[in-house]
Structure 1
Amino acid sequence: MSDLLEILSPVGDMERLHAALDFGADAVYLGGTAFGMRAASAKFTPELLSQACELAHSRGKRVFLTCNTLPHNNEIPHFESFVKNAVDAGVDALIVTDIGLLSLAKKYAPDTEIHISTQAGIVNYVTANEFYNMGAKRVVLARELTLEEIAEIRAKTPDDLDIECFVHGAMCVSFSGRCLLSQYLTSRDANRGECAQPCRWGYHLMEEKRTNEFYPIFEDERGTFILNAKDMCLIEHIDKLAKAGVNSFKIEGRAKSSYYVSVITNAYRKAMDIYKSDPDNYHLPQWLKDEVYKVSHRAYCPGFLFGNPRESQYYENSGYVREYDVVAVIEDCRDGRIYAEQRNKFNKGDEVEVLSPDGEPVILTASELFDEKGEPIETANHAAMKFSMTCDRIFPKNSIIRIKK
């Protein structure tokens, strides 16, 4: 078992940073205002990046900055100031794909770790070793690898080269995210963080002389979602990945909600702690297996970990499964009450769950609700309203109250 077994969580803004840190991430990855593969979550200006690093470091956590697009000529002159701002902010690593940016990162930030993005498509030990020789501290392996291939890469690379693998989240039908479909159909370049996700759309056939008639490829009148991939979920295989030599267990989702970040980080944190406590007897309690289903998700699969990638495709539809709603976030617990801020409507008498970093979710009945002035109310129905509810339990700040739909 490696000394480094890291839960690495996605962060799209400061709210999600707090969520990741509160629920047990060892490190987070985030994007600046350029060069990142999630244009929609490019929220961290130099000032916010400094704040993020200061907060994470104060809690003993690390911050990795994505620089993993494939930049064009006109973007290169801006990279020096981007990197120097990142170094000044205190980032612990730069995640790159392009070997040109790799060379510039070494030049502009010689004392900062360099991690090679999954976009580089590393599927063998020769490539991993070459990146190591070029100065990489870590390689993020391609998602398209089996457990045996991961173990062989670990066995044939230097011990001080970290191995990072994705363990949870959305997968791309194109190899390691190198997709041109979005750019072709919408002029939004997936390799520069602007993917429109056309792989999730339904498709039909059209015969050239019948231009107004569309035919489903199979299934039914909705067409087929033949390009649509399931989501990856490897929480039940943490032990196998750790024994194969994986150091960092990466959760996908910089564009996902703070609720997603909280729940999934918490689940993998707890799973990793269970593994560390007894590596030879890795068994998850049912409540922890259930947690990954309490966020918005597509059908799950183990990706390529055991081969058989065909099982990773989902042809029925491209929608999400969403069975729970966040109704509030706890701000304080005192004097027999929970004090919280509302996120979605719920009513007096509803059965709710409280998820905290402390352990298994707690089921409560909202037997009494009060507004900010302490007056009894029947429903919490105003966005971001302050309210309280009777409860004799104490939960940490930022614990989540949710309800089954």
Structure 2
Amino acid sequence: MELLAPAGGMEQLRAAVAFGADAVYLAAERFGMRARAANFRMDEIPAAVAFAHEHGVKVHVTCNILMHPDDIDGLPAFFRALDAAGVDAFIIGDLGAFAVAGEVSPRVERHVSTQASVANAAAARVWHSLGASRVVCAREMSLADIARLRQETPPDLEIEAFAHGAMCMAVSGRCLISSYLTGRSGNKGHCTQPCRWSYQLEEEKRPGEFFPIEEDDRGTFIMNAKDLNMLAHLQALADAGVDSIKIEGRNKKAFYVATVVGAYRRALDGEPPEVVADELLAVSHRPYGTGFYFSEVEQATAYDGYEQETMHVADVVASSPRHPERSVQREVEGFPDDPQYLYLLCRNRFAEGDELETLVPHEPSRRLIVRDLHWLNTFGPDNHDEDAPATVKEALSRATATDWEPAAAANRSCNLYRILVGDASRYASDGSASAALSVSDKAVCDESAPFAIPEGSFLRKRTFRRSARHEDKERL
């Protein structure tokens, strides 16, 4: 099965490609259902497509909002520009937009969005007769429904289904609550997600006295769908005839994309799902379930907010090379192994001596201890010098030894830091904080010494967190 990953921006696209996506789906600044995502300017899409194609990854572009007359007027130029950029498919939910795409860009495949609510073979056959090469199943379909759809549709019509991510509590996203409460239409890509707000009940005769909304297992729980997680059921999806599994999340950061795509890639490549399942607990999520696939929808009856078991602390933006042959010789001669420096863009606080976990493409996570932490004093959002480097690459290329200052903690977001990994880091100078680490700490971190941590990897810190909604509930 194809692994289709979200790309809300270039960082997310790079993460999806690095961690094993076969295809990505993204949106331009117009016509997509995730207007709050970073998305791509039209002039950025050719480079994004070129990067993806260079790595053998296809690019699908969403055009699946509820179309108004003014929207239709702008579609011909939009589709032609995307065609010229080399995109592989359009994901379309409106019949009029679908027709326009076929007229002006016949080269590009047309996929029918889940917004069209294709839930039966008759509808799928009609779309196929109009030129669709793929339908994205309505999220309300069971595996049995999908299997029947596969049996009753032409074999050249591909079937795509969601495998992971947030579930909308309305039918395939057709929700009016955001429009009604905030004036921002979920069907135009501006959903404010009021279904995830915390609500209280007020009795008419007792104004100002609020009660939590609670129900038992005999009742229906309002607006609290579990997040979808089909990692343990990939074979069932394949057996039902699914050609492509889709990960939801164009509003998510690169760390989320890397974590989830990496887990599904490893499972698709043959690792037992139970081995990689914990990876999906590392990122922010609601309680997990299997949606409608096994007929009875699961509800988050004890839902009290998002939770995650790790915190993203740094992006690996560069690493010094290791030389295995020379390392063996140095070990024979009694010298430490060549060190590997990791150059990190700080995202959240971490400190000297902290135990972190690696997130590396196609590899299980490993542990390391932060040692010999240094901060680059010439780069960062607070550096306003006229000659300050503008990019990470420029900052690293211009850095001198005196620009790196010892640091007890990395606490400047979007600043550059450096740590030392590998056997040589055990031989830190007496003046460094890493020299004070205990023998047991060094033993733990040396588990990760034999393997490289390349650019594009991430570091995370294991710390359980729950969202503010839990705190609100505690105050009721």
TM-score by length of 2: 0.78
Question: Partners of 1:36 and 1:210 in 2: how far apart?
Answer: 44
Deviations 1:73-118 (A, max 9, x none): 1221111111111111111101001111111111111111000001
Question: Partners of 2:274 and 2:302 in 1: how far apart?
Answer: 30
Which of 386, 398, 401 is residue 456 of structure 2 equivalent to? 398
**Correspondence for 1:349:** 353
8 Å CA contact 1:115–1:136 kept in 2: the answer is yes
Q: Does 1:336 align with 2:339?
A: yes
Quickly say closer, same or farther: Cα 1:10–1:148, change in 2 above 3 A: same
Question: Partners of 1:114 and 1:238 in 2: how far apart?
Answer: 25
State the number of aligned residues.
388
Question: Partners of 1:15 and 1:74 in 2: how far apart?
Answer: 31
Quickly say closer, same or farther: Cα 1:42–1:128, change in 2 above 3 A: farther
**Correspondence for 1:66:** 62
Single out whichever of 360-369 and 375-384 deviates more from structure 2.
375-384
Which of 272, 278, 283 is residue 295 of structure 1 equivalent to? 283
Single out whichever of 202-211 and 263-272 deviates more from structure 2.
202-211
**Correspondence for 2:248:** 252
Question: Partners of 2:38 and 2:344 in 1: how far apart?
Answer: 29
CA drift at 1:43? 2.4
Deviations 1:274-322 (A, max 9, x none): 17xxxxxxx3242x1100100011100011111111x2x2244452102
RMSD: 1.8
**Correspondence for 2:72:** 76
Quickly say closer, same or farther: Cα 1:219–1:153, change in 2 above 3 A: closer
**Correspondence for 2:37:** 41
Q: Does 1:378 align with 2:393?
A: no
Question: Partners of 1:304 and 1:72 in 2: how far apart?
Answer: 31
8 Å CA contact 2:232–2:274 kept in 1: the answer is no
SS at match of 2:361: coil
Map 1:83-232 onto structure 2 (within 5 A): 83-208=79-204, 210-218=206-214, 226-232=222-228
* Percent of matched pairs sharing the same residue: 44
Deviations 1:241-292 (A, max 9, x none): 01211111100000011100110011111111117xxxxxxx3242x11001
Question: Partners of 2:304 and 2:100 in 1: how far apart?
Answer: 39
Q: Does 1:307 align with 2:295?
A: yes
Which of 405, 411, 419 is residue 389 of structure 1 equivalent to? 419
Single out whichever of 338-347 and 112-121 deviates more from structure 2.
338-347
CA drift at 1:215? 4.3
Quickly say closer, same or farther: Cα 1:153–1:185, change in 2 above 3 A: same
Letter in 2 for 1:148: A
Structure 2: 5+ residue runs without aligned partners? Answer: 322-337, 377-402, 423-450, 464-476
Letter in 2 for 1:362: R
CA drift at 1:366? 1.4
8 Å CA contact 1:225–1:316 kept in 2: the answer is no
CA drift at 1:385? 2.3
SS at match of 2:266: helix
Question: Partners of 2:37 and 2:273 in 1: how far apart?
Answer: 33
Question: Partners of 2:160 and 2:304 in 1: how far apart?
Answer: 28
Question: Partners of 1:174 and 1:324 in 2: how far apart?
Answer: 30
Letter in 2 for 1:386: L
8 Å CA contact 1:25–1:265 kept in 2: the answer is yes
Letter in 1 for 2:121: Y
Which of 245, 254, 257 is residue 261 of structure 1 equivalent to? 257
Question: Partners of 1:153 and 1:350 in 2: how far apart?
Answer: 52
Bigger radius of gyration among the two: 2
SS at match of 2:48: helix
8 Å CA contact 2:20–2:362 kept in 1: the answer is no
Structure 1: 5+ residue runs without aligned partners? Answer: 276-282
Which of 276, 281, 284 is residue 273 of structure 2 equivalent to? 284
Letter in 2 for 1:385: N
**Runs of 4+ in structure 1 displaced over 6 angstroms?**
none
Question: Partners of 1:166 and 1:109 in 2: how far apart?
Answer: 26
Question: Partners of 1:174 and 1:125 in 2: how far apart?
Answer: 22
Letter in 2 for 1:17: L
Letter in 1 for 2:372: E
Letter in 2 for 1:398: G
Question: Partners of 1:154 and 1:358 in 2: how far apart?
Answer: 31
8 Å CA contact 1:95–1:116 kept in 2: the answer is yes
